[in-house]
Amino acid sequence: MPLRDDIAAASAAGIVDPDSAERLIAFLEARKRGEADRAADREEVRFARGFHDVFLTIGIVMLFIGLGTMIVPVAGLLPTAFLATILSWALAEFFARRRRLVLPSMALAIIFVVHAGVVGMAIFGLTVISVDVLFERSFAVLFGALVALVSGGAFFLRFRLPFTLAVTAAAAVVAFFSAVHLAAPGVFDTDGPLLLLIAGLAVFVTAMAFDLSDPQRRTLRSDNAFWLHLLAAPLILRGVFHFILAGGDLDAGSALIIVGTVVLFGLLAVVIDRRALLVAGLVYLGYSLSELIRAADLGGSSSAALTLTLIGGMVILLGAGWQQTRSALISVLPLPASLVSRLPVIPERP
């Protein structure tokens, strides 16, 4: 990039007229300042570099499904899960550490952590693993979740794959729920929403710690935060959703409260510049808007279509004016200057 002195010298030699020289200098400086801003504004998600990554991921998934289907009836759950953990780690050494292929590595991270947890549970005699088993009061579930937690941490430290943090955090949430369930049986019947909210807030705070340490979003810390936000959002909103319903059915009043809650959640996502945080809220927003439309008899038999239309329009409008909305919110909200300085900058628009 030409330096200011070089452009000034070119102007003095008559190669560039003074007015053009000043405008060129201003353009180059503005471009340099804006590079970091535009990088932060994109909120880049690194999934795949081409369909080759998708092709490999399909092969990995098919391989482990086939192996599991063949080996479990013959050798049982524990040997099969142990073999899967060894094989997935070996494949990760090639695809994650040497080739740095993100999507295949994400699949291997899930396979490795899940099967490590299954090994932990199978050691204590569980022969059938399902989602329902995770909610049973069992030390085997707690031990399996702790094994998955440690395994996920080891996978992250070895391969530095940001997605692994979300998988590890999910294992930590399961371990938290299982530990509380063992210590206080029946607690989910009374305080389940509170536990979801606590877990979601813990994941969110961790995500914000990564975000605030990299406001320009140039490092893997930003990717770490992205995946943790995707996990935190449904946990938080699910907990709030249950609090609002309080065991009852969704009616127009509670739907209106949920819509207001999702809107506030969306404003938070705009302020911290995380669209990922808002994605989970769209499900609850759609569910609640649909109820309001039915209660007001606005959509008739097409209430679902009207709901999708409204949400789609809102997403497009918000996406188009995302940074302008951020600028307006940050200017009116009483946020500490120390916090604002650690949030992504608002890109300058021409």
Q: How confident is the model at residue 17 (pLDDT cuts 50, 70, 90)?
A: confident
Model confidence band, residue 1 (pLDDT cutoffs 50, 70, 90): very low
Q: How far is CA 87 from CA 82, 94, 102, 116, 167, in A?
A: 9, 11, 18, 12, 18
Residue indicated by tokens 């092709």: 55
Q: What is the CA angle 332-324-286, rounded to 5?
A: 95
3-state secondary structure 80-119: HHHHHHHHHHHHHHHHHHHCCCHHHHHHHHHHHHHHHHHH
- In the predicted structure, residue 156 carries a pLDDT above the cut 80: yes
Mean pLDDT for 305-324 is 86
Q: Is the pTM of this model over 0.85?
A: no
Contact 258, 288 (CB under 8 A): yes
pLDDT, residue 300, reads: 57
